[in-house]
Amino acid sequence: MTGRGLEGFYRAGRRVLSRCQVRVAGREPVAVQSRMTTADSARFLGTVRTSAHTGPDPDVVVERVRHADGTERITLYSAAPRPLRLPVEVALGTDLADLGAIASGAPGPELPASVHDSGLRWSSPVGNSSITADPQPVDALASAGLLRWEFVLPPGGSTSVELRVRPDGTGPVRAVGRAATSPLAPARAAGDDPRVRELLRTSIEDLQALLLRDPAHPTDTHLAAGAPWRCGLAPAEALAAARMLLPLGTRLVAGTLRTLARTQLRGPGDQSGMIPGPRRDAGTHLPPSCTGTEATLLFPVLLAEARRWGLPDPDTEELLPTAERCLTWLRTTVGDTPYLRDPQPAGPVRCETQAHAHRAALLGADLLDACGRPGGAGLRQWAQELRAAFREEFWIDDLGGGRPAAARAPDGRLVPHLGAAAVHLLDTGLLGGGERASGLLAKVQTEQLARLLGGPAMDSGWGLRGLGAKEAGYNPFGHRGGAVRTHETAVAVAGLAAAGYEKEAASLLRGTLAAAEAFGHRLPEMYAGEQRTDGSAPVPHPAACRPAATAAAAGVLLLTTLAGIRPDAPAGTVTLRPVRSAPLGEIVLTGLRIAGAPFSVRVGRLGLAMVEEAADGLQLGV
């Protein structure tokens, strides 16, 4: 850990340690391997030759195991035939810089250290940090930020030093997901393709590492958006990830919804009923979008679908008033118009926002009707008006068969570029009886969109590009302009499969699974949209979170899509719509949850699905 770039330990968005360099017998170990062992730990291996007369073979192995809770264990293993006297030095430093300053390349200089307890301490006007060592060093030099030990290792012997870093006045960090009360079911996958087992296992492991608990409401857990850039709550991402994780149970959904319900804006004003969220960059073609709008529309959708998956009635009743306020905000904001416009002055009408709003209206109406609340008829009427207008006014005809517009500018001009945001048009949502809600596009338009998403301009071979390769401004590293975004790829796979376009869905699925294997089954938030060729590998994106909530949840969605599970817990039924082409051969998913009980399903090589475990009384629908 050299202190360059993003390296370091972080706590609450501040770098509490930026440099941790080890020297053994005056030499820096030669790095031979580094890898993440879990979502919150990594192992680094190096070797040292302590004598020039030992030939090419190293006689000391240095292992460093680093954990996200702020601890690192440095272990020395001797392979020498004689006892070794090894002086060990660890050089430490930090700038206590804010993550935003580090991301922009302006972290500031290292701070001077002082000797503190069995280690060192750094202070600045914005905070402080200390590091303690076990065993206690024989020497500590504050001016050099240096701790020293002297060890004697017998042949085949070993010794360790453990370092612990944290801001003053804070206790050790304990990941919520490591507790016995994790809200995520311990699901497992098996089948003809061995990668499915590792993808599901790693995805759940990543999600557990990202779990956060509301300190004021410790029973409510939700997901951080991702590490290292967004280690806190991002409303739209938390809701989207929780929705993809419904097959793992409804406890995380309930905690996420309750946490965000407490943030909902109340009182007079245009924003009353909104769940606030930051703006999100939308690339070069459009201004930043409002994630608060997306979160507000996702809230009633997630509550409605969670009820279908078996969210207990008391939880639904508790959260229903918040969902009603979200839907009231939607109807009040659109007024007599068919479209939901961006909230900023002269904002555009975005394609994906209309998809989110249409789904919220239909699933929200279904929820209101089921709970005996008024308002469903008005929402359905508006959704019908939106469908008619969208199919007529948002479609761009061209010689290639046409495409949906990315947005309508305030002057009515259509923004024509083809991007991954269009996949949300395929995500219509789940209604009762295993039925999907109506989509914004007509059947022929849906077929054309499926063809475009499956074409080489959008399908990179590793997943779905954020912007078509033939569009102006395409950049394979553009985080909204060409990079593969894992979440949108999974939404595309699920939407295409549900609409019956299995060839296109299977191609994107196989590409993403190949990318996951190259990334050690730990899918990043995004990666470069370069075209896959023989012998190539997906290229990491330098600004990607890994692990990321939506990317890890996407791994769950990709695999459960193969079984096409559509529950209706209030009606006591579950319908299966598997991918008939069985693109990964046989797959078995066990340990899922429907209606609070274990649920297991097998999809055979002929694309036929069979329920192997389910709650008592849960009937298979048709």
Residue closest to 332 by CA, chosen among 292, 379, 390? 379
Q: What is the pLDDT of residues 463-500, one digit of tens each?
A: 999 999 999 999 999 989 999 999 999 999 999 999 99
Would you state the pLDDT for residue 170? Answer: 56
* Residue 490 in tokens: 């999974």
Question: CA 33, 38, 39, 40 torsion: positive or negative?
Answer: negative
Would you state the pLDDT for residue 53? Answer: 66
Residue closest to 250 by CA, chosen among 175, 162, 312? 312
- Helix, strand or coil, per DSSP, at residue 199: helix
- Helix, strand or coil, per DSSP, at residue 236: helix
Give the burial class of 160: count Cβ atoms within 10 A of its Cβ; 0-12 exposed, 13-18 middle, 19 or more buried. Answer: middle
As a whole number of angstroms, the distance between CA 226 and CA 207 comes to 9
In this structure, the dihedral spanned by the alpha carbons of residues 137, 138, 141 and 144, taken in order and rounded to 10 degrees, is -70
Would you state the pLDDT for residue 51? Answer: 76
Would you state the pLDDT for residue 104? Answer: 73
CA terminus-to-terminus distance, the chain: 57
Q: What long-range pairs does 367-371 form, CB within 8 A, spacing at least 24?
A: 367/300, 367/303, 367/304, 367/307, 367/320, 367/323, 368/324, 368/327, 370/307, 370/432, 370/570, 371/316, 371/317, 371/320
Would you state the pLDDT for residue 173? Answer: 44
DSSP run (H or E) holding 260: helix 251-261
As a whole number of angstroms, the distance between CA 307 and CA 288 comes to 33
Angle between helices 351-370 and 376-393 (to 10 degrees): 160
Name the β-bridge partners of 24. 27, 88
Name the β-bridge partners of 469. none
Would you state the pLDDT for residue 452? Answer: 98
In this structure, the dihedral spanned by the alpha carbons of residues 197, 203, 204 and 208, taken in order and rounded to 10 degrees, is 150
Residue closest to 585 by CA, chosen among 571, 606, 570? 606
* Residue 355 in tokens: 């998809």
Q: What is the pLDDT of residues 225-264, one digit of tens each?
A: 998 778 889 999 999 999 999 999 999 999 999 999 999 9
Q: What is the pLDDT of residues 141-164, one digit of tens each?
A: 998 999 999 999 999 999 999 999
* Residue 263 in tokens: 């943030």
Question: CA 383, 388, 393, 399 torsion: positive or negative?
Answer: positive
Q: What is the pLDDT of residues 505-551, one digit of tens each?
A: 999 999 999 999 999 999 999 999 999 999 999 999 988 999 999 99
Residue with tokens 């499956």: 454
Would you state the pLDDT for residue 269? Answer: 86
Cβ(173)–Cβ(67) below 8 Å: no
- Those residues whose C-beta lies under 8 Å from the C-beta of residue 334, and which sit 6 or more positions away, are 340, 357, 382
Would you state the pLDDT for residue 346? Answer: 78
**Consecutive sets of 10 residues in the chain, 622 residues long: mean pLDDT of each?**
83 86 93 87 92 78 91 94 93 88 81 90 90 93 93 94 82 49 94 97 95 90 89 93 98 98 93 94 90 97 98 98 98 95 88 98 98 97 98 95 95 94 97 95 98 98 97 93 97 98 98 97 96 95 92 98 97 97 97 97 96 93 74
Statement: the pTM of the whole predicted model exceeds 0.85: yes
Question: CA 441, 445, 447, 450 torsion: positive or negative?
Answer: negative
Would you state the pLDDT for residue 548? Answer: 95
* Residue 446 in tokens: 């849906």
For 272-305, the DSSP string reads TT-----EE---SSSPPEEHHHHHHHHHHHHHHH
Distance of CA 20 to the CA centre of its chain: 29
Would you state the pLDDT for residue 621? Answer: 81
Residue closest to 227 by CA, chosen among 487, 549, 477? 549
Cβ(66)–Cβ(90) below 8 Å: no
Q: E strands within 193-334?
A: 211-214, 217-223, 279-280, 289-290
Would you state the pLDDT for residue 563? Answer: 98
Q: What angle do CA 557, 562, 564 make, to 5 degrees?
A: 85
Q: CA dist 187 to 213, 226, 238, 373, Å?
A: 22, 22, 20, 35
Cβ(613)–Cβ(598) below 8 Å: yes
Region for residue 228 given its phi and psi (left: phi exceeds 0; alpha: psi -120 to 50; beta: otherwise):
alpha
